[in-house]
């Protein structure tokens, strides 16, 4: 039984990376911007967060470093797609390719680096409960932050005026513009917020989740996070659930290996990627289902009349 509690615990931990990144990308997409650069952005943030943590000894400064890196790279992306009107897909791709190279380049001296001793977190009383304690209440604060972020985002998007404006920019930038909202500035802010969250996810990955820096360590999580927004049909709560589900798929591979199932490890490691493909195919089968919730102007450039 304890094994399953730990499995559930590690599933939440693994899902957190995807959840935070995917919620960030959700903010982007609600404003009409698709950032295919998530993978590269997370890689750069992962090494930045790791390096800051190693240098300063504080993981919180590391998270801040990751967020700043993420926001900075997202700002470059944002200026290109919003003001220079470049193609969103190509620009995001450029960011991903750049991020893979740059993070490997910047991280060359940190491959063997060790982090300061990590703190064991435990909620008072709840953490001592049998089974649920190790499964739910002994996580890093960022894990709970992801849950809080989900609810905060639901409140922001559907209960506040700013959230309404953000969504209107993603649905119909022309109308928002006609109403006098600064469409491009709002989109830029959304891109910054999304970048910072992807950065936080990257830093959490290297500083807490794996505790080390390896070249290309994000290993497609940025792309899976992108796919998750579609799976969740742009609903924050579904994003969170989906992220845990995919965290579970990742962990299941490790779990099966540890209990000695005789499948080559490569096939177990394939599962998150194959699951992404299968779910994507199943969910995209019915375009009408997707279109209901999809921000109408997603991926489309907006340039106010000159």
Partner 1 sequence: MLKLEARPQLSRFWSYGSPILALLITVLIGMALFAALGKDPVKGLLVFFWEPIRSGYALGELMVKATPLLIIALGLAVCFRSNVWNIGAEGQFVIGAIAAGYVALLADKSTGPWIVAAIIAAGVLGGMAWAAVVALLRDRFNANEILVSLMLVYVATLVLGYVVAGPLKDPMGFNFPQSKTFDAVTQIPRLMKGSRVSIGLLIALGGVAALWIFLFRTRAGFAQQVGGLAPAAARYAGFSARRAVWIALLTSGGAAGLAGALEVAGPIGQLTPYVPAGYGFAAIIVAFVGRLHPVGMVFSAILMSMFYIGGELAQSRLGLPKSLTGVFQGLLLFTLLACDTLIAYRVRRKAAPKPAPLSPASPASSAPSGTASLQVSTPLTAQPVAHATEGAL
If one asks whether residue 185 binds partner 1 (CB under 8 A), the answer comes out as no
3, 57, 130, 220: which one binds partner 1 (CB under 8 A): 220
For residue 69, what are the CA distances in angstroms to 5, 116, 142, 168, 306? 35, 21, 18, 28, 33
Count Cα neighbours of 236 within 13 Å in the Cβ-side half-sphere. 20
Alpha helix positions (H), 160-216? 161-171, 173-178, 183-204
If one asks whether residue 112 binds partner 1 (CB under 8 A), the answer comes out as no
65, 173, 194, 202: which one binds partner 1 (CB under 8 A): 173
The token pair at 252 is: 């299941």
If one asks whether residue 270 binds partner 1 (CB under 8 A), the answer comes out as yes
If one asks whether residue 261 binds partner 1 (CB under 8 A), the answer comes out as no
For residue 212, what are the CA distances in angstroms to 66, 110, 117? 15, 9, 12
Binding region for partner 1 (CB under 8 A) out of 79-87, 116-124, 147-155, 200-208: 79-87
- 302 secondary structure, DSSP code: -
If one asks whether residue 280 binds partner 1 (CB under 8 A), the answer comes out as yes
Helix (H, G, I), strand (E, B) or coil at 1: coil
If one asks whether residue 163 binds partner 1 (CB under 8 A), the answer comes out as no
If one asks whether residue 292 binds partner 1 (CB under 8 A), the answer comes out as no
**By C-alpha distance, which of 276, 146, 198 is closest to 34?**
198
If one asks whether residue 291 binds partner 1 (CB under 8 A), the answer comes out as yes
Residue among 102 and 144 whose Cβ is closer to partner 1 = 102
Smallest distance, partner 1 to C-beta of residue 303, A: 6
Give the CA angle between residues 55, 61, 66 to the nearest 5°.
Answer: 95
85, 118, 160, 258: which one binds partner 1 (CB under 8 A): 85
If one asks whether residue 194 binds partner 1 (CB under 8 A), the answer comes out as no
- Say if residues 139 and 13 touch (Cβ distance below 8 Å): yes
7, 54, 100, 212: which one binds partner 1 (CB under 8 A): 100
- Say if residues 142 and 60 touch (Cβ distance below 8 Å): no
If one asks whether residue 290 binds partner 1 (CB under 8 A), the answer comes out as yes
If one asks whether residue 277 binds partner 1 (CB under 8 A), the answer comes out as yes
- Say if residues 42 and 20 touch (Cβ distance below 8 Å): no
DSSP 4-64: HHHHHHHHHHHHHHHHHHHHHHHHHHHTT---TTHHHHHHHHHHHHHHHHHHHS-HHHHHH
If one asks whether residue 110 binds partner 1 (CB under 8 A), the answer comes out as no
Supply the angle between the helices 38-56 and 59-78 in degrees, to the nearest 10.
150
Binding region for partner 1 (CB under 8 A) out of 155-163, 204-212, 242-250, 292-300: 292-300
If one asks whether residue 230 binds partner 1 (CB under 8 A), the answer comes out as yes
51, 94, 208, 239: which one binds partner 1 (CB under 8 A): 94
Q: How far does Cα 36 stand from its chain's mean position?
A: 12
13, 53, 91, 150: which one binds partner 1 (CB under 8 A): 91
Measured between alpha carbons, how far is 118 from 58 in angstroms, rounded to an integer? Answer: 10
Binding region for partner 1 (CB under 8 A) out of 14-22, 214-222, 243-251, 254-262: 214-222
Smallest distance, partner 1 to C-beta of residue 280, A: 5
Binding site for partner 1 (CB under 8 A): 34, 36, 40, 76, 80, 83-87, 89-91, 93-95, 97-102, 104-105, 108, 173-174, 177-178, 215, 219-220, 223-224, 226-227, 229-230, 264, 266-267, 269-270, 273-274, 276-277, 280-282, 284-285, 287, 290-291, 294, 298-306
């Amino acid at each position: 039984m304890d094994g399953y509690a730990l499995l559930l615990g590690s599933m939440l931990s693994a899902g957190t990376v995807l959840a935070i990144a995917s919620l960030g990308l959700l903010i982007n997409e609600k404003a009409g911007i698709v950032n295919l650069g998530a993978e590269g952005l997370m890689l750069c943030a992962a090494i930045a967060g790791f390096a800051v943590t190693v240098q300063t000894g504080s993981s919180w400064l590391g998270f801040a470093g990751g967020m700043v890196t993420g926001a900075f790279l997202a700002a470059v992306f944002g200026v290109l797609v919003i003001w220079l009107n470049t193609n969103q897909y190509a620009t995001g791709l450029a960011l991903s390719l750049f991020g893979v190279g740059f993070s490997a380049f910047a991280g060359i001296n940190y491959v063997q680096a060790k982090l300061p001793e990590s703190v064991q977190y435990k909620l008072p009383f709840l953490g001592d409960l049998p089974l649920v304690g190790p499964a739910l209440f002994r996580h890093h604060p960022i894990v709970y932050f992801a849950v809080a972020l989900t609810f905060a985002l639901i409140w922001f998007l559907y209960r506040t005026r700013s959230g309404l404006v953000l969504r209107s920019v993603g649905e119909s930038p022309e109308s928002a513009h006609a109403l006098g909202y600064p469409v491009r500035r709002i989109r830029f802010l959304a891109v910054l917020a999304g970048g910072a969250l992807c950065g936080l996810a990257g830093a959490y990955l290297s500083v807490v989740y794996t505790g080390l820096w390896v070249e290309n360590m994000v290993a497609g999580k940025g792309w899976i996070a992108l796919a998750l927004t579609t799976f969740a049909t742009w609903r924050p709560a579904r994003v969170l659930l989906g992220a845990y589900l995919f965290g579970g798929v990742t962990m299941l591979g490790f779990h099966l290996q540890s209990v000695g199932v005789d499948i080559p490890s490569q096939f177990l490691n394939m599962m998150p990627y194959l699951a992404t493909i299968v779910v994507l195919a199943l969910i995209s089968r019915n375009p009408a289902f997707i279109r209901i919730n999809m921000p109408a102007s997603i991926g489309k450039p907006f340039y106010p009349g000159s």
